């Protein structure tokens, strides 16, 4: 199987006795290198699967790796192999060492909405807080990803009001999570790092287990992820580390990614070997030449130049439009013309943009021409109210200390428990230091709530305690089915929905969740509900970044969302100053990252690339003058052609007119 690799790929696969950095350009086969290296370790070096860990950033990438390695070697030879996201690996460590972490088995995972609720409560903020709650929550998240504890944060000298507010509530936020026996998404990295730092026995145990570690997208690692990797591979003095990345595709500094981690490897691992993958298997030569030409304007610690053996291809088309509406019209008309001329499926086409607000006009023009499309970044499955309702019950069953789940579940459906009863429970919980659920049986409740009004909450407590007891032994799917029946949730959905069709759609989502729970439980017949809940919760949060659509539709998405994807025909719109590069990035001297983002967009195209901009654009209701992006001046003139020159050609005009007629006939049947 290894004869399929090119020379550089083979060198990366077979180097197993020293730290290795694989500098993998866009489309150069990095996933193939990782999967084939795992196959090499298992089949040629006889390494046990349980001692090999491959880590990436999305569930989609992890699934793809698992599928490829299983195709290569079969499921038996790969049994025990860990291929996961960073957060899943962190959860594995945390669940294994839960007692040392200060949490108890069955801990809940708070999603971002739960975390915002906690911060809002601690700040005593109302809904009209001018974004303070979001900013404070993000600051706490940043501190955790930088491995800064509440004590360290309190010692930092700060003049920023958001940081000052965050430092005041950070410790209380952590105490709240511990009281709820919960962790947030950032704790999946922060707490494992703390465990490995504080406890020698835990650190040595995991270092002995991790003999080989392969890390994808290394340029996107933050401080916590880098420290976790560095600690785990220290048992082999780093010799088992393979880091795969591309500094030219580092586009996540806004969420803590540190592209300098690639350079830091050379300091932390002096024996580091470097292998460059420069042959691109995705794009035509002109597209790569344009990408190389643009990215050379950035300072680059590692020099590389993508090339392709697939031929030169067509010039890149540049479209200039009078305004944003005309830009959308030109882009959609060009797409329609190309499709009818070449008889291609809609799924061959993608339109990329810097910000979600740019999609509105494109959607309008696509709808006018009856062109089906998929807008990436829509409402996540796990953000739907019916899914959050059911998950609140499951979280509460396995962890009665989860106050956020308690508040959502207790009145869904309504049980006659009003706001005053919840306020009374909250007061008792504050006084006693107990959870809301535990406070129901507290003697202090009598001082705040008359006996008559205690009946409903005590009935809820008794009912839920029964399900919590059953969760220790009953199969998860049976338990969930019984729960939904007893709370008559399908009837509740019907009453809350605006139409029978909406009710049916919402119930179908619940049935999909049931299928997912069944699939997770079926992987291990002895799996208890607490394992299912934590797996679903984490997968749900990470799946939000894994939007997929396999239908025959045009894809609309941000440049950030396009990373890792490829399409035969790509259009990048809005090449204007203050859009790409973005105004905030210009103000904060982050233009280099914006250039990398543009580079990522260019390298999504396989066969053809179009770039567009508008001279005027509506902002806040007013039409404003726009300045073409500086990146347009960085395009190699020998590989581009301007649309106005083509549009004046009589043959082209006739073709476009015919495409419109064909489209109209198709619409009319």
Which tens digit of pLDDT belongs to each residue from 12-45? 999 999 999 999 999 999 999 999 999 999 999 9
Asked whether the predicted pLDDT for residue 376 surpasses 90, the reply is no
Please list the active-site residues. 30-31, 216-217, 249, 604
- Burial of 340-375, coded b for 16+ CB within 10 Å and e otherwise, reads beeeeebbbbbbbbbeeebbebbeebbeeeebebbb
Asked whether the predicted pLDDT for residue 297 surpasses 70, the reply is yes
Asked whether the predicted pLDDT for residue 130 surpasses 80, the reply is no
Output the pLDDT for position 644.
Answer: 77
- 669 pLDDT band, cuts 50/70/90, is very low
Question: Would you say 15 and 244 are in contact if contact means Cβ atoms under 8 Å apart?
Answer: no
Residue with the bigger pLDDT between 577 and 496: it is 577
CB atoms within 10 A of CB 11: 17
Output the pLDDT for position 384.
Answer: 81
Output the pLDDT for position 659.
Answer: 53
Output the pLDDT for position 411.
Answer: 78
- 664 pLDDT band, cuts 50/70/90, is very low
Distance CA(181)–CA(106), nearest Å, equals 8
Cβ-in-10-Å burial (0-12, 13-18, 19+) of 377 comes to middle
Secondary structure (3-state) at 543: helix
Mean of the pLDDT values across residues 580-584?
94
Strand partners for 578? 582
Question: Would you say 284 and 606 are in contact if contact means Cβ atoms under 8 Å apart?
Answer: yes
Asked whether the predicted pLDDT for residue 257 surpasses 70, the reply is yes
Mean of the pLDDT values across residues 294-310?
92
Distance CA(570)–CA(171), nearest Å, equals 47
Least confident of 423-432, 510-519, 534-543: 534-543
Output the pLDDT for position 441.
Answer: 83
Highest mean pLDDT (candidates 64-78, 537-551, 585-599): 585-599
Mean of the pLDDT values across residues 472-499?
88
| The two structure tokens encoding residue 593 | 């990252």
Q: Is the dihedral angle over the CA atoms 427, 431, 436, 437 positive or is it negative?
A: negative
Does 581 sit behind a cis peptide bond, omega within 30 degrees of 0 on the bond before it? yes
% of the chain with per-residue pLDDT over 90: 52
Output the pLDDT for position 544.
Answer: 53
Asked whether the predicted pLDDT for residue 290 surpasses 60, the reply is yes
User: CA Rg, the chain, in Å?
Assistant: 27
Asked whether the predicted pLDDT for residue 547 surpasses 50, the reply is no
Output the pLDDT for position 642.
Answer: 92
- 570 pLDDT band, cuts 50/70/90, is very high
Using one digit for the tens of pLDDT, what is the confidence trace for 453-476?
A: 888 888 888 998 999 899 888 888
pTM: 0.79
In Å, how far from its chain's centre is CA 609? Answer: 26
Look at residues 437, 412, 414 and name the one whose alpha carbon lies nearest to residue 426.
437
Using one digit for the tens of pLDDT, what is the confidence trace for 331-342?
A: 999 999 999 899
Look at residues 262, 307, 236, 220 and name the one whose alpha carbon lies nearest to residue 26.
307
Question: Rounded to the nearest 5°, which phi and psi values hold at 74?
Answer: 90, 160
Average model confidence (pLDDT) for the chain? Answer: 88
Cα angle, residue 327 at apex, residues 323 and 330 outer, rounded to 5°: 140
DSSP string for residues in 52-101: EEEEES-HHHHHHHHHHHHHHH-TTTTTT-EEEEHHHHHHHHHHHTHHHH
Mean of the pLDDT values across residues 263-272?
92
Asked whether the predicted pLDDT for residue 167 surpasses 90, the reply is yes
Using one digit for the tens of pLDDT, what is the confidence trace for 198-215?
A: 999 999 999 999 999 999
Output the pLDDT for position 40.
Answer: 95
| The two structure tokens encoding residue 590 | 């982050």
Asked whether the predicted pLDDT for residue 246 surpasses 50, the reply is yes
Least confident of 60-74, 155-169, 462-476, 510-524: 510-524
């Amino acid at each position: 199987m290894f004869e399929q690799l090119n020379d550089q790929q083979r060198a990366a696969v077979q180097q197993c006795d020293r730290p290795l950095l694989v500098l993998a350009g866009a489309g150069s086969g990095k996933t193939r290198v990782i999967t084939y290296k795992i196959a090499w370790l298992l089949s040629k070096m006889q390494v046990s699967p349980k001692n090999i860990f491959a880590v990436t950033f999305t569930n989609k990438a992890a699934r793809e790796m698992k599928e490829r390695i299983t195709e290569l070697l079969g499921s038996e030879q790969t049994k025990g192999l860990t291929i996961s996201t960073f957060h899943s690996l962190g959860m594995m460590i945390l669940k294994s060492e839960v007692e040392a972490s200060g949490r108890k088995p069955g801990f809940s995972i708070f999603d971002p909405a739960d975390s915002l609720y906690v911060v809002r409560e601690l700040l005593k903020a109302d809904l009209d807080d001018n974004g303070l709650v979001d900013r404070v929550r993000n600051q706490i998240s940043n501190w955790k990803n930088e491995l800064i504890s509440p004590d360290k944060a309190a010692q930092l000298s700060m003049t920023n009001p958001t940081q000052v507010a965050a430092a005041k509530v950070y410790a209380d936020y952590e105490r709240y999570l511990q009281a709820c026996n919960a962790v947030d998404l950032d704790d999946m990295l922060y707490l494992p790092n703390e465990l490995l730092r504080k406890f020698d026995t835990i650190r040595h145990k995991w270092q002995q287990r991790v003999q080989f570690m392969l890390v994808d997208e290394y340029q996107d690692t933050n401080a916590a992820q880098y420290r976790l990797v560095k600690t785990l591979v220290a048992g082999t003095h780093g010799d088992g580390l393979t880091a795969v990345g591309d500094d030219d595709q580092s586009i996540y500094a806004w969420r803590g990614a540190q592209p300098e981690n690639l350079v830091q490897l050379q300091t932390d691992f002096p024996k580091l070997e470097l292998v460059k993958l420069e042959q691109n298997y995705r794009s035509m030569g002109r597209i790569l030449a344009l990408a190389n030409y643009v990215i050379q304007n950035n300072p680059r610690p590692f020099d590389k130049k993508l090339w392709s053996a697939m031929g030169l291809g067509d010039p890149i088309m540049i479209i200039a439009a009078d305004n944003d509406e005309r830009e959308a019209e030109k882009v959609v008309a060009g797409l329609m013309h190309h499709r009818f001329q070449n008889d291609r499926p809609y799924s061959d086409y993608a339109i990329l943009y810097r910000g979600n607000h740019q999609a509105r006009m494109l959607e309008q023009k696509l709808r006018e021409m009856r062109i089906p499309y998929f807008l990436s970044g829509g409402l996540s499955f796990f953000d739907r109210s019916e899914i959050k309702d059911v998950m609140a019950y499951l979280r509460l069953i396995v962890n009665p200390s989860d106050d956020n789940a308690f508040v959502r579940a207790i009145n869904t459906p309504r049980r006659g428990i009003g706001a005053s009863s919840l306020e009374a429970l909250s007061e008792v919980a504050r006084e006693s230091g107990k959870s809301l659920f535990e406070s129901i049986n507290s003697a202090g409740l009598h001082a705040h709530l008359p006996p008559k009004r205690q009946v409903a909450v005590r009935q809820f407590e008794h009912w839920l305690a029964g399900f919590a007891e059953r969760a220790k032994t009953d199969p998860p799917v049976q338990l969930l089915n019984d729960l939904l029946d007893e709370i008559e949730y399908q009837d509740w959905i019907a009453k809350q929905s605006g139409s029978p069709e909406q009710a049916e759609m919402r119930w179908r989502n619940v049935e999909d969740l049931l299928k997912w729970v069944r699939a997770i439980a079926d992987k291990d017949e002895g799996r208890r509900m607490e394992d299912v809940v934590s797996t679903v919760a984490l997968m749900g949060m990470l799946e939000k970044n894994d939007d997929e659509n396999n239908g025959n539709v045009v894809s609309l998405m941000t440049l950030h969302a396009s990373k890792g994807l490829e399409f035969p025909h790509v259009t990048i719109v809005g090449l204007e100053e203050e859009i790409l590069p973005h105004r905030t990035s210009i103000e904060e001297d982050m233009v280099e990252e914006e250039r990398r983002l543009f580079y990522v967009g260019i390298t999504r195209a396989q066969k053809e690339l179009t770039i567009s901009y508008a001279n005027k654009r509506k902002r806040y209701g007013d039409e404003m003058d726009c300045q073409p992006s500086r990146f347009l001046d960085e395009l190699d003139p020998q590989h581009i052609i301007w649309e106005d020159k083509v549009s004046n050609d009589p043959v082209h005009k006739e073709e476009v007119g015919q495409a419109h007629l064909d489209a109209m006939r198709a619409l009319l049947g």
